[in-house]
Amino acid sequence: MTKRPEIRELPGKAEHGGYVYVLEFTSGLVKPGRTQDPRSRLGDHAKSARLFGAELADWWVSPLHDGWKGNEESLIAFASDLGGVPLTTEYFSGVDFADLLMKARALTFAPVDIDAALAAKAAARRTPEWLSVRLRNLHAQVKYGARTKEEAASIVAELLIRDEPEFARVIVERWAAGKFARLLKADPLPSWWDAAEDRGQRGSEHPG
């Protein structure tokens, strides 16, 4: 039987593809999830658990693969099928870790297609032609007083969320990166940040 790697031995951030995982806590809860950075994500879960008086009792992480988002959905469905009671979307009580792990290991882990991943990322970063046309039309409407800037921005936001979620994600990422860069330049991380990290009290990323 293959020895389970320690959290510090898990892979770091993947540029393409991702991983799914299954966690068991000493509280009895079981959590399936997905991530592109297993070492960081499981480390965050371990720190968060300690804040509630629990520990990670066991864990499993898949190989790097394509289709990881769909595999997470399958794991969540398996946990429910195995009798798990969802406390949140991804935390279950009453499900046996070993049973869920057996299901997890039977999933398909398709090798990452680097060329396809690069092409998809490049496509997501290009402004869709229909959006360019719509922006020009809205610009003209704002210019001649047919709409306010706020109305035009609301229309674009709704269209992006509905029809181009990947492009919307890229825009939000760019905005957030710029915002954080300006905040850090104006106000560097305070000294208590490192101390909080040592105590495991930093906020963890959104679980998933």
Q: What is the pLDDT of residues 131-160, one digit of tens each?
A: 888 889 999 999 999 999 999 989 988 888
Name the residue with higher pLDDT: 5 or 114: 5
Positive or negative: CA dihedral 74, 80, 82, 87: positive
79, 129: one domain: no
208 pLDDT band, cuts 50/70/90, is very low
**Least confident stretch, 1-5, 46-50, 102-106:** 1-5
84, 135: one domain: no
Positive or negative: CA dihedral 113, 115, 121, 126: negative
99, 138: one domain: no
Determine the pLDDT at residue 95. Answer: 96
Q: Among the three residues 105, 132, 165, which one is the final residue of a domain in this structure?
A: 105
Instruction: Let me know if residue 1 belongs to a domain.
Output: no
pTM over 0.85: no
93, 161: one domain: no
**Least confident stretch, 68-72, 104-108, 197-201:** 197-201
Instruction: Let me know if residue 171 belongs to a domain.
Output: yes
Q: Which domain holds residue 27?
A: 7-105
Asked if pLDDT for residue 35 goes beyond 60, the answer is: yes
Instruction: Let me know if residue 204 belongs to a domain.
Output: no
43, 85: one domain: yes
